[in-house]
Amino acid sequence: KVSLLSRLGGHALHWSNLKDQRRSGTTLPVKHDGSFFNMELQFNQSVFTVLPAKTDVRPEMVFLFELFLLRGTNNHIDRVVGWGAFPVCDGALDLLEGKFKCPLLRGHQDSRIDQFRKIEELMSSDLDHWLSNLYFQIIKLPRYLDGQKEYEVHLQFPSNILGSPDCFCTS
């Protein structure tokens, strides 16, 4: 699953006029037999998400990638087993495009990790925190497709972060 966060350690951003957001940003399930010698899990699927316009992009926005162990015979609930974060834009606030690698950490997202430096420190202190690397490609699709109109959507920020001074630090 991929989500758009207000910042590393922050809250997920949602769109006001976009229906079925729960399912967006997820892949179809991929089977892994759990053997230690099967070291690759290939998805080879496209995941689509909506990003803000260039004028609304903030330097602290990140993609949150989550790897789930789905419920089955041995577990009764879906459980996050790994997560990683990656910036949405570069230093010039241009949305990223290209091929990238992102480290995944074990367990669920830790909201106390609010800087990429802390991810590096965590992996450096004990390599067991590192689960794997995620290799992905970002392709910006055109805003208009033949025969379709663009519609307007607005980001809905959680009310508890709107007044937060660390929500959008743009300097």
Decide if 110 is inside a domain: yes
How far apart CA 49 and CA 27 sit, in angstroms, is 12
Q: Which residues face 62 on adjacent strands?
A: 5, 87
Query: Can you give the pTM of this predicted structure?
Result: 0.75
167 within domain boundaries: no
Would residue 6 count as lying in a domain?
yes
Q: Assess if residue 156 is contained within a domain.
A: yes
Neighbour-count burial for 17-52, b at 16+ CB within 10 Å, e otherwise: eeeeeeebbeeeeeeeeeeeeeeeeeeeeeeeeebb
171 part of a folded domain: no
Instruction: Output 117 or 11, whichever has higher pLDDT.
Output: 117
Q: What is the dihedral of CA 154, 55, 143, 134, to 10 degrees?
A: -90
What does the pLDDT average to over 129-143?
89
pLDDT digits (tens, 9 = 90+) for 83-115: 999 999 999 999 999 999 999 999 999 999 999
Strands 98-106 and 130-138: antiparallel
Torsion of CA 21, 152, 7, 141, to 10 degrees: 80
The domain of 139 spans 2-162
Domain count of the fold of the chain: 1
- Say what the pLDDT of residue 26 is: 73
Q: What is residue 164's predicted lDDT score, i.e. its pLDDT?
A: 39
pLDDT in tens, 1-46: 888 888 998 888 876 655 554 545 777 777 777 677 777 777 788 8
